[in-house]
Amino acid sequence: MKKLFLAATLFLFMGVSYSQKYQPIDSTLVWNTSNSMRIASGFCCYVNEDASFQFKGFVLNNGNTWLKLFESALYTRVACFPQCTDGTVPGNFTNSFRGYLMNDSVNKKVYFTSTLTANYTPTTSNIVYDFDNKNIGDSLNWKPILSPFSMPNIPKFKILTIDSFSFAGKYHKRYSVVNNTIFSPTRIIYVMEGMGSSLGPWNSIFTDFEFNSSLTCFSKPQNAVSVTSYTNFVPTSAPYCATINVVPEFETAIFTVYPNPVKNLINLENINVNSISIFDVVGKLVIEQSEIHGSINVESLLPGTYFLKIRTNNRIYSSKFIKE
């Protein structure tokens, strides 16, 4: 009888463990990404892009519910010497419509289309994430929405481990995979049910070749998580994960933050600053300053990577620097 009871208990435990409920994309989630983009022929001519992706509203079509995906972005020129003359910093924008996304919770798939015609029926070409029946050793298909290159095949990521990540009271299945895309050095990243990838939620995986895309944090009301080194997911403070949503459309950011890396002073040029906040990689506020006179003293910080939030009269800018 004891053996029978133990077997039954083990069966129930295994059943609960491996029948974890699939978590679709949450319509209240916001993703913040950071990209470094080359804008000119010189090796030094780059700009930083900080972007927020979020859903606003939905459309009912042919019995399916399609979420409407929007993006807001800030661009800042990377300080370098000599400065390039043949690259133009893109214009900032707010709430640019990117397309429609649909959850298929039954088949554990996520679909995307940039346009939606009447009585639209999604096909396999619309699948951006496919989590159906994946095990260790399998290849996890992930098709990018946006790509600067025309690639005929869907990239594949070999699954190394499968575990769960808790966020906002729900467990999301998480796949540790080898990133073996053709333009990227081999490294370990995560792809998660309902959250996308640590390379960025909807950004092309090919952006690692020229644009160095990464997901810095994701959030929903009352919850936020920072992402560093592609594999480190840490609960963080709301200011760290602030959504970009107050930037005037098509206004070019021309301010400069230098030097980077820095030893003692960070200099700010061409920007009127009301206050600054500096956070470490786990989202802890380490410096806050309201009176700025062209520079910020960071001599007291330990060596490492930090995130800078610059507040002006009507907007927030983000930047990242390394303390030597």
Query: For 98-133, what is each residue's pLDDT tens digit?
Result: 889 999 999 999 998 888 999 999 988 888 888 999
118 CB-near residues (< 8 Å, 6+ apart): 61
The helix (run of H) or strand (run of E) holding residue 179 is strand 170-179
- Rounded to whole angstroms, how far apart are CA atoms 56 and 288? 32
Among the three residues 241, 271, 304, which one is the final residue of a domain in this structure? 241
What is the number of domains present in the chain?
Answer: 2
- CATH code of residue 284: 2.60.40
Residue 184 structure tokens: 């990227």
Q: Is residue 6 part of a domain?
A: no
Q: Are residues 72 and 148 in the same domain?
A: yes
Q: Which amino acid is at 12?
A: L
Q: Is residue 10 part of a domain?
A: no
- Reply yes or no on whether the pLDDT at 38 is more than 90: no
Q: Are residues 145 and 292 in the same domain?
A: no
Q: Is residue 180 part of a domain?
A: yes
Q: What is the mean pLDDT of residues 127-145?
A: 82
Q: Are residues 174 and 84 in the same domain?
A: yes
Q: Are residues 152 and 49 in the same domain?
A: yes
Q: Are residues 235 and 275 in the same domain?
A: no
Q: Which amino acid is at 15?
A: G
| β-bridge pairing 275-279 and 30-38 | unpaired
Whether the Cβ atoms of residue 226 and residue 281 lie closer than 8 Å to each other: yes
Q: Is residue 129 part of a domain?
A: yes
* Residue scoring higher pLDDT (264 or 77): 264
* Residue scoring higher pLDDT (150 or 77): 77
- Look up the domain containing 295 and give its range: 256-323
Beta carbons within 10 angstroms of residue 70's beta carbon: 17
Q: Are residues 298 and 224 in the same domain?
A: no
Q: What is the mean pLDDT of residues 263-267?
A: 87
Among the three residues 218, 241, 264, which one is the final residue of a domain in this structure? 241
DSSP for 80-117 reads: -SSPPSS--PPPPEEEEEEEEEEEETTTTEEEEES---
Q: Is residue 316 part of a domain?
A: yes
- Rounded to whole angstroms, how far apart are CA atoms 97 and 122? 19
Among the three residues 241, 269, 298, which one is the final residue of a domain in this structure? 241
For all residues of the chain together, what is the average pLDDT?
A: 76
